[in-house]
Structure 1
Amino acid sequence: MLALAAGVLAAATACTGNAAPAPSKAAAAASATPSPSAVEYAVTPAEAAKVFSEITASDDLLRVKKDPSLESLEGRLALAQDLTTGGQTQLTVAAYLSTGYAPPRYRWGSPTFFVPKFRVGEPALWFSALATRNGQPALLTFAKTDDWRISSVAELLPAQELPEIELDADGYATALAADDKSITISPQFMGPVHASVAETGSAGVTAGLLAPGPYTTDVAEQIAALRTKAKKAELSYDSIFSADNYPVYALRTKDGGALIQYSLSRNSTTRNMLDTTYKLPVPPEASWAIGDPTVPLSIKLTETHQYATAVPPLTTPKAATVIAHQGALTRAAGT
């Protein structure tokens, strides 16, 4: 990861045939300025609005608390999973299992859509929407393979605003390629860079690429403090972030930068190394996954986090800022 991050830092510094008859002036003008309505895109704002409405309505219906004697709760979870992909799948499963199949319901406000201008035939379609969720601004992304699903949801952090998304004359946004080099952190490196900063903080080679805060350098300080505390108790503790194979979505912003949405997993492990009589207490937030209040050897906690980060253009480099987040414990195991 450090080698990869160093590469990111380095990148940041660093036949004819016979001529056809000449067209008339009228024909040339027509071909040079096609009518916007003649261009067809794979996803339209109208389709995006329909997808948002249908999926959020279906999701809410499944979240209504019901009597388990009248309906299979496991069946509800399976249906809810069918509405999700990416990191949202793990978060949705945990939301159901940790609440006895009665996850919180959401009230959605009117959305603003950011629809990339994908050409017809594009295999991986997606769009984003900004809407209030229970009164809090949230950024959602929907992705389509065989069907449309929710892929990412992250609430805007206090005092943060969504950067202005660049839109063309038809109101479409621009999706950035994974290896886009016009911004300080290419979309494909966003997850690994964030993981490195969350683990090493201001001491790592990626320091300075992400602004300090509760989801970057503060996490690294927390990990260091927990590691020291565990050592004093003759335990071992470690916490690793990983980008895994989660999808990454990037939109061009009006300043030439990008809004990048991505997910990370965090695996934290506490081990009892010496004292066989000592029992590790199970954290309250993991009690839904580990039935016993204590375990003798180790506890492994897995969290899933989704972020939206504003990344500046390479022409005016500065630290990227995490502006939105959602995360939760999604798996726990004790031995």
Structure 2
Amino acid sequence: MALLVLVPFAASGCAGSEPEVRPTTVAATTEKPEPEPLTLAVAEREFRTFVTNDDVARAAGDERLALTWVSDGESPLTAAEYRKAAFDGDPVRRYAYAEPKLYVPKLKPDVFPQWFVASVSRSVPGEEKSKENVLMAFILRSPEDRWTLSLKTTMAPKAKLPKVVLDAEGYATALTTADTSVLIRPREMPGIQATVAYEGPDSVAAKVMKSGPVTTGYYAKSRKAKRKARQKDLTLQTVLTATPYPIFALRTENAAGLVLYTLYRNSVTGVKDKEKNPAAKPPIPPEIAHLLDGTVEGDEIHVSETLQFAAFDPARPKEDEDEDKDGAPRAKADVIADAGGIYKAVTPPAKNP
């Protein structure tokens, strides 16, 4: 925006005449900060910064402060965690972190977003058996922004983290979401898992993803929950869908990959026979009581969850066969970490017939 500065000039005529005033244009400059290259030292600094500030927020029970250090799927989950603690009258859990292993991809400093992944063990001080190994993905969207925690997921108890390939300087290699060197392109991993969870072990998608608690296990739990709902004259619909959140993918040994991503899970519980029981309402489950005011306005409860995962993505087979040359079955993608929870529950008004 141009800035007008009024500069007086001496009168050139007789005494007593008004001095001329002429506008002089001065260009206003706004300098953008130079992008800071992502290095191992920068990643170490930003991990420590997050851990310190997150603990300050947790110690004070300050939800607003905590939310300034997270983004994407971590934002609704963090808000829900603080609100649940306030509802229960409990302090927000605090964590002690061990030394992290940082996986920092070599990215062009002027290309955004910038990101890195940390693998670290953490525990709740004073709580036995609270130790867990987590994967944390940090992101910087522009030079003007701050680094935030975008995704956090917990390794399964018996799962092993695949070995991330590092170069001589200690940097990892990022995979694009459209990379075809791995069995499942990273951008398709959420959809494959959602399909297996919906269709079960007989799904075509199950040919490329292993059975487990958060794949075919979701399918089995959903069927069981629907049967229980019917016994209580209720209906239940559950679906997993993709999110707009980032996908983080790193090269691992043997041309495979490690993919971190997020899914939504939405469920609707309703009255089975609304015409027969117009006044009936589904009960409020205890796990969502802190998100509601104790009443159900209509005849349905809508629940939304954010779920975060990490999966091993094997190398794409060179031959289109069901078995390797030695007769062993083809490797499948394997979900090795999961976390998340409910962040929203609503009871919309009943629909007019």
Asked if Structure 1 and Structure 2 have the same fold, meaning a TM-score greater than 0.5 normalized by the shorter chain, the answer is yes
The structure 2 residue matched to 1:105, chosen from 94, 98, 102, is: 94
The match for 1:46 is 41
The 8 Å contact of residues 87 and 246 in structure 1, kept in 2 or not, is answered as yes
Q: 1:332/1:301 Cα in 2 relative to 1: closer, same or farther (>3 Å)?
A: same
Please show how residues 137-216 of structure 1 align to structure 2 within 5 Å. 137-145=133-141, 146-216=145-215
| Separation in 2, partners of 1:302, 1:198 | 16
Shift of 1:126: 0.2
Which secondary structure state, in structure 2, belongs to the residue aligned with residue 263 of structure 1? strand
Structure 1 segments unaligned to the other structure (5+ residues): 1-39, 67-75
- Name the % identity: 31
RMSD: 1.8
Shift of 1:293: 6.1
Q: Judging by fraction of residues, say which structure has more helix.
A: 1
Confirm whether residue 287 of structure 1 aligns to residue 289 of structure 2: yes
The structure 1 residue matched to 2:341, chosen from 312, 318, 328, is: 328
Shift of 1:329: 1.1
Please show how residues 227-306 of structure 1 align to structure 2 within 5 Å. 227-274=226-273, 275-292=277-294, 297-306=299-308
Confirm whether residue 115 of structure 1 aligns to residue 73 of structure 2: no
Please show how residues 28-107 of structure 1 align to structure 2 within 5 Å. 42-65=37-60, 76-100=62-86, 102-107=91-96
Q: List, as ranges, runs of 4+ consecutive aligned residues in structure 1 with deviation greater than 6 Å.
A: none
Residues 279-333 of structure 1: CA distance to partner in whole angstroms, max 9, x if unpaired?
3111111010112166650111111111010110013742111111111111111
Shift of 1:107: 0.9
Shift of 1:104: 1.1
Shift of 1:137: 1.2
TM-score of the two chains, using structure 2 as the length reference: 0.77
| Separation in 2, partners of 1:196, 1:103 | 35
| Separation in 2, partners of 1:156, 1:194 | 17
Q: What amino acid maps onto 1:110 in structure 2?
A: E
| Separation in 1, partners of 2:303, 2:187 | 26
Which secondary structure state, in structure 2, belongs to the residue aligned with residue 206 of structure 1? helix
The match for 1:16 is none
Which secondary structure state, in structure 2, belongs to the residue aligned with residue 287 of structure 1? helix
Q: What amino acid maps onto 1:98 in structure 2?
A: K
Which secondary structure state, in structure 1, belongs to the residue aligned with residue 220 of structure 2? helix
Q: Determine which structure has greater relative contact order: mean sequence separation of CA pairs < 8 Å that are 6+ residues apart, divided by chain length.
A: 1
The structure 2 residue matched to 1:319, chosen from 308, 332, 346, is: 332
The structure 2 residue matched to 1:127, chosen from 102, 105, 116, is: 116
Shift of 1:227: 2.1
Residues 130-182 of structure 1: CA distance to partner in whole angstroms, max 9, x if unpaired?
11110311111100012200011111111111100001111110000110001
The 8 Å contact of residues 271 and 297 in structure 1, kept in 2 or not, is answered as yes
| Separation in 2, partners of 1:272, 1:136 | 39
Larger deviation: 164-173 or 204-213? 204-213
Q: What amino acid maps onto 1:325 in structure 2?
A: D
Q: What amino acid maps onto 2:66 in structure 1?
A: A
Shift of 1:236: 1.9
Which secondary structure state, in structure 1, belongs to the residue aligned with residue 206 of structure 2? coil
Which secondary structure state, in structure 2, belongs to the residue aligned with residue 168 of structure 1? coil
The 8 Å contact of residues 281 and 300 in structure 2, kept in 1 or not, is answered as no
Q: Which has the larger radius of gyration?
A: 2
Shift of 1:202: 1.1
